[in-house]
Amino acid sequence: MTATGSATASTYGARDHARAQAGTVVTTMPVLPASGWPSPPDGVAPTDLVWAETVAGGNYTHLRVARGTHLRLTDVEGSACAHLALHNATQPWERLNVADTTKVAWQAYLGAGALLLSDQGRVLASVVEDTSGRHDAFCGTSTRASNTARYGDGAPQGPSPAGRELLVLAAAKNGLLPRDLPTTLSFFQGVEVGPDGGLTFTGSAGPGTSVTLRAELPLVVLVANVPHPVDPRPQYTSTPLEVVAWRGAATAPDDPLWSATPEGERAFLNTAAHAAMLGLDGGTQA
């Protein structure tokens, strides 16, 4: 038995060992309270932070956020890949629709100003800032079968967990079933489509890049931080992802993003009407 094993062999020993971890960095749990996060985004008061966490490579997180919440994802070391699924928290059968997200925008490459649409024609979230530019709306996330074939194991508790397996766990903690999971978007590891339809992996823009999303409705947010399914590196490579959320306001009719395109304006009108019926703050129609 190892020294740690002997120290935790009894209930009292396990308790003392657990309490000794206080003040150390735990990469798979949020900072509580979030105001204790050491580096709030510029211009954000610590008291406005509602979530702050570092998600280890090969791990996941999930959170429910209010309408207007801003959510910043940061690729800390350059090899994170945030596979994102979104659900309307008030009616979770409404979920991210990647096909409509790209179709309504008339292009498939995500960046600042992109609208992440639901299968009901509403804006679940908008991209307000992006310093990475390396994202993917084509491939989705990895599966247990694909990771087993490539790395030898795709189980969620194994050394190379698949994104879908982790999202199934995150979904279950929010009362959702595997069938409720939509196709995901991937942030921080890019893919381009060539003239022949072939995919080229463009990888990361480097460490420290970030994407900030704005929740246009109350959301269930599911994130798996795992390698992109077409990442050519032979080893399972996944580094930490920072997730920080703070209070804010949803997009208003006087925001240039609201009327940037006719299709986007219609989606925002649908969103505002839904929010108004729910009595949500800022849910007035234009």
User: pLDDT tens digits, residue range 109-124?
Assistant: 999 999 999 999 999 9
For tokens 């989606």, what's the residue? 267
Evaluate if residue 19 carries a pLDDT over 80.
no
Burial of 112 by CB count in 10 Å (0-12 exposed, 13-18 middle, 19+ buried)? Answer: middle
- The answer to whether residues 189 and 231 touch, using CB atoms and an 8 Å cutoff, is yes
Average pLDDT (253-274) is: 96
**pLDDT for 253:** 96
**pLDDT for 22:** 57
DSSP β-bridge partners for residue 203: 190
Entry pTM: 0.90
Evaluate if residue 211 carries a pLDDT over 60.
yes
Q: How far apart are CA 132 and CA 65, in angstroms?
A: 23
* pLDDT one-digit tens code per residue, 130-166: 999 999 999 999 999 999 999 999 999 999 999 999 9
CB-facing half-sphere around the CA of 3: CA atoms within 13 A? 0
Q: Where are the domains of the chain?
A: 48-278
Evaluate if residue 58 carries a pLDDT over 70.
yes
First to last CA, the chain: 67
Evaluate if residue 97 carries a pLDDT over 50.
yes
Q: What is the mean pLDDT of the chain?
A: 92
Q: How far apart are CA 29 and CA 54, in angstroms?
A: 7
Q: How far apart are CA 273 and CA 286, in angstroms?
A: 9
